[in-house]
Amino acid sequence: MPSKLPVRRWEAVLYLLGIVLLVHPSGADAQSLSAIPAAFLEDGPSPATAALGQAGVASSAGIESVWANPAAATSVGRVQFLFAYLDQFELIEHGQAAVGFSSGNWGLGLHVRDSGDDALRESVVRLSLARRFGRLSMGANAGLLLARFGRNTLNPDALAVFDPAEIAQGMANQIRGDASGITGGFGVRYALGRAALAASVSNAVSYVQWESAAASGAFAASYRQSLPTALWVGAQVPAGRQGLVLLDYAPALDSEIDDRLRAGLEWTLAGILALRAGTERSLNGQPDEGVTFGFGLHLPPVAGVRVGADYAYVDSYLGASQHVAVRVGF
């Protein structure tokens, strides 16, 4: 049922401008230089978004869009599940499970993501809530961050170049620890048919508490840090009846971070097969761009059940990664 609170275009522009004015640079550390999903900062999009050069702030494709912008939760449909796997650089494995619901003007999404191994394992649980006001959707999310590191077992045989006493001392001084924290963000999306403008802020509020010590109990340490705030603005533009162009831009909010640009193209054939390609780059004059491509399958519903799958291949200067996902909707 349409909302009783329609929002005019100029009001939508004011909302987007308000997002920009509310965001300010937060304290950044060495992690702010990392765009690797294993970091708490950017733990990776869904395969559908990854194949589009990671552009997805203005998308409304369902539960896979909610991670990039919580306002997209109103587009989920009655019930939708997503299960995804990422093999990053053939080194780091990621798992993701998500479920979304929408009813009337409200939408809700829950994501659980886990990555890493015994050397470093990081997990995120994020809840997103959104409300639609006519053409404008507004959403917010809150996340729980958990990490543990240094649980990997050192093999003394691999340290044979040292004498036994040095090996024993080194193993006793292996640093291990845990971390926990919270993060919150918000986003808006203004739709004009298949076209849309959107903005999303991640880590608007955040902190992570780290606790560490050597295996022997020595060198205990504790410290807290915030995560750098990130602002993304994006657009979705129709390209004929079958195509969509997505563009995302992130202005640098810290002197150690570069402006970033993402662009993707999706072309749907017969309403079943979606072909996707895109690119992502930092605007720093360095050859660090990434190229992505993939596809999505949207099978016809059977007995009210919709099943789909997505695949993405990401080739970046750091290495190649592959994403796969299965979607089930009711």
Express each pLDDT in 178-214 by its tens digit: 899 999 999 999 999 999 999 999 999 998 998 888 8
Distance CA 211, CA 199 (A): 34
Mean pLDDT computed over 143-152: 87
DSSP H or E segment with residue 20: helix 9-22
Mean pLDDT computed over 9-21: 44
Count of alpha carbons within 13 Å of 207, Cβ hemisphere only? 3
Of 126, 50, 74, residue with least CA distance to 325: 50
For residue 177, what are its two tokens?
């620890």
Q: What is the pLDDT of residue 43?
A: 54
DSSP H or E segment with residue 309: strand 306-316
Q: Check: CB of residue 183 under 8 Å from CB of residue 227.
A: yes
| Chain segment 125-142, per-residue pLDDT in tens | 999 999 999 999 999 999
Cα angle value 79/82/86 (rounded, 5°): 170
Mean pLDDT computed over 155-163: 65
For residue 231, what are the CA distances in angstroms to 24, 26, 98, 253, 289? 9, 12, 23, 8, 20
For residue 199, what are the CA distances in angstroms to 5, 136, 139, 211, 295? 21, 12, 11, 34, 25
Q: What is the pLDDT of residue 35?
A: 42
For the chain, percent of residues with pLDDT exceeding 70 = 81
Maximum C-alpha span of the chain: 76
Question: pLDDT category, 32, cuts 50, 70, 90?
Answer: very low
| Chain segment 233-275, per-residue pLDDT in tens | 999 999 999 999 999 999 988 777 789 999 999 999 998 999 9
Is 2 buried (19+), middle (13-18) or exposed (0-12) by CB count in 10 A?
exposed
Mean pLDDT computed over 51-61: 90
| Chain segment 71-122, per-residue pLDDT in tens | 999 989 889 999 999 887 777 788 889 999 999 999 999 999 888 777 788 8
Domains, the chain, ordered by start: 9-329 (2.40.160.60)
